[in-house]
Amino acid sequence: MWFISEEAFDVKRFFLFLLSLCLATQAAEAQELWKLRRYEVAAGLGATSFFGDVGGFSNGENALGFRDISILQTRTNIDFSAKYRILYDINARFSFSGGLLKATDERGSNEGREFEAATTFYAPTLLGEYYLIKNRLENSYGFLRNGIKHTNFFGALDIYVFSGIGGMFYSVKGNEKLESHANFRSGGFAVVLPVGIGSNYILTRDLNLGLELSGRYALSDYIDGYTSQYSRHNDVYLYLNVVITYKINVNSVGENILSRR
pLDDT in tens, 195-232: 999 999 999 888 999 999 999 999 999 999 999 888 88
More confident residue, 25 or 125: 125
The pLDDT value recorded for residue 64 is 47
Residue 1 domain-assigned (yes or no): no
Q: Please state, in angstroms and rounded to a whole number, the distance separating the CA atoms of residues 215 and 170.
A: 17
- For residue 239, count CB atoms less than 10 angstroms from its CB and return exposed for 0-12, middle for 13-18, buried for 19 or more: buried
Q: What's the CATH number where 76 sits?
A: 2.40.160.20
Residue 180 domain-assigned (yes or no): yes
Residue 16 domain-assigned (yes or no): no
More confident residue, 18 or 41: 41
The pLDDT value recorded for residue 153 is 80
More confident residue, 245 or 151: 245
Query: Which residues, other chains included, contact 31 with Cβ-Cβ below 8 Å and sequence gap of 6+?
Result: 88, 139
Asked whether the predicted pLDDT for residue 12 surpasses 80, the reply is: no
The pLDDT value recorded for residue 108 is 64
The pLDDT value recorded for residue 234 is 94
Q: Please state, in angstroms and rounded to a whole number, the distance separating the CA atoms of residues 58 and 50.
A: 15
Q: Which of 32-46, 62-76, 87-101 has the lowest mean pLDDT?
A: 62-76
The pLDDT value recorded for residue 229 is 83
Which structural domain, as residue segments, surrounds residue 57? 32-259
Q: Which of 5-19, 39-53, 204-218 has the lowest mean pLDDT?
A: 5-19
Residue 210 domain-assigned (yes or no): yes
DSSP characters for 42-110?
EEEEEEEEEESSSSB--GGG-GGGGGG--GGG-EEEEEEEEEEEEETTEEEEEEEEEEEEEEETTSBS-
The pLDDT value recorded for residue 22 is 45
Residue 89 domain-assigned (yes or no): yes
Beta bridge partners of 78: 45, 98
Q: Please state, in angstroms and rounded to a whole number, the distance separating the CA atoms of residues 235 and 221.
A: 5
Residue 11 domain-assigned (yes or no): no
The pLDDT value recorded for residue 165 is 98
Asked whether the predicted pLDDT for residue 251 surpasses 70, the reply is: no
More confident residue, 143 or 188: 188
Number of domains in the chain: 1
Q: By the 8 A CB rule, do 243 and 38 touch?
A: no
What percent of the chain has pLDDT above 70? Answer: 74
Residue 26 domain-assigned (yes or no): no
Q: Which of 32-36, 160-164, 187-191 has the lowest mean pLDDT?
A: 32-36
In the predicted model, what is the mean pLDDT of the chain? 82
Q: Which of 29-38, 127-136, 180-189 has the lowest mean pLDDT?
A: 29-38
Region 154-177: mean pLDDT is 94
Asked whether the predicted pLDDT for residue 25 surpasses 50, the reply is: no
The pLDDT value recorded for residue 179 is 92
Residue 172 domain-assigned (yes or no): yes
More confident residue, 125 or 13: 125
More confident residue, 204 or 76: 76
Q: Please state, in angstroms and rounded to a whole number, the distance separating the CA atoms of residues 67 and 92.
A: 35
